[in-house]
Structure 1
């Protein structure tokens, strides 16, 4: 849920349906002794497509948290649900209030919904792309490449593979766009292949946030596991050198204070 000035809120569900809620202030609030009466109204503008063809305006009145009366732009009139609501609905349907409510679909709802669509749903976020490699469990020469695109919006995206500039149409398994639950999406494409010398394999990603297709080349010089082993080995080597140097310096400092050994005829000379 996102909050905006003017007591309005925007709700977006996983199907990207939009509801613009304009919360009107309480029209009546009476407190009598220890008991009380609570009356409030809510105006709602809803639609499920950016062309606003199904936009709807609903004005609801509640008394003690129960729906009392309601105006719906599709119905075009007030409807009462309790004795108070029915009395009010009859009066409002015969008065100037009904024309005010009928005008709010075009004057209030559609401009507000259009602005929200433009402000939020037209935005794009570039995907982050990563290429990884995993060997087959059988230990054979066949490997599996995975091209992952994640944290992008909108969800429409095209991910495919190129081998030496030619689009790969077989041995490819791709997932559907998966929602992360925070407006972002992710998708993964797998390519089963047998490495060949001099071969160029690329992952291509097309998305609304890019000005054109983005190509990511796979570097077969080192696999992911080999890179990790190399990094761990290098880190261990550096750590070993540091510890050896520290030990040597400590030994030199301790040895410089031992010139004569008591009770012995041997003399230790250090230069």
Structure 2
């Protein structure tokens, strides 16, 4: 699919924008098992940021993996820091973020969830939701009564999505977003408006009662999407494909026979549809695999990461395989665990190579001087005669 968007960079330095921080566990019941926690800081400006993991108040350095900072389409940035750990009952994990937009760091906590705590959280959520609705109603009433003004952001986005050009399915979307949260949309596949959140229910109900509006929007598939596709097809906007770069980053230098976290990063690709999978000795892995959210770069390309938690053994060969429409064949990048023997052999290879290099230099210099072609230096003249 493609969408047409116009953005104008700021002409003056923008004030700092505070990041939003969240923790995403990759397993629902991670107690006493290896698990991967992902801390995401998003929507901040400028790009300088410090993210660290704490366990029971102590900063963690083992099992920590870092992704590259990415620029969003709205000139803000986002970043992720992963922690591989074995949570136990009573442990308290926290992601702490320091940024120039705040004097104090942002700290978000996470605790391993047991079955009892899960039930209590359900009841807490129900009670909290009821109280929240009450407070929202009271607050809205007082706000309207006070007559004070405030600033909110309302966006409307029109999108044309294509599958195999105009020969496949053509989809027209009209999306409504309030303070960065989509609340209602028109989808040509349905032919009607639908509420994305509770906030959009009244709007969707009202707009669906307007027959003339719905008839007009259903015609936008041909009038807007197919027409503009034919206009843009000769140019670079249609059919743009950019091949991803793929790399594997282990979080530990010597992971043999120990739990290790491998991170496969596919970056700089377009369009966004991509398939990333882990292979171990040629077999696709499904256990211990964690997926991060797909991120959009500032140049309209995308980036994604897939993590593998594993215990490498001698002779194992791991591979990250990426399938994308920019290539007929998948991209496969291999990684092998480095044993202490292989590390030592690499050191000896370097030492032997250095010694042989010195020997050849010495022999060459001796032969050169023996040939008599060397020009002796003139005697030094006295500075004072």
Q: Above 0.5 in TM-score?
A: no
TM-score, structure 1 length as denominator?
0.43
TM-score, structure 2 length as denominator?
0.33
User: Which structure shows the bigger proportion of residues in strand conformation?
Assistant: 1
Of structures 1 and 2, the one scoring higher in RCO (CA 8 A, sep 6+) is 2
Instruction: Please say which structure displays the higher CA radius of gyration.
Output: 1
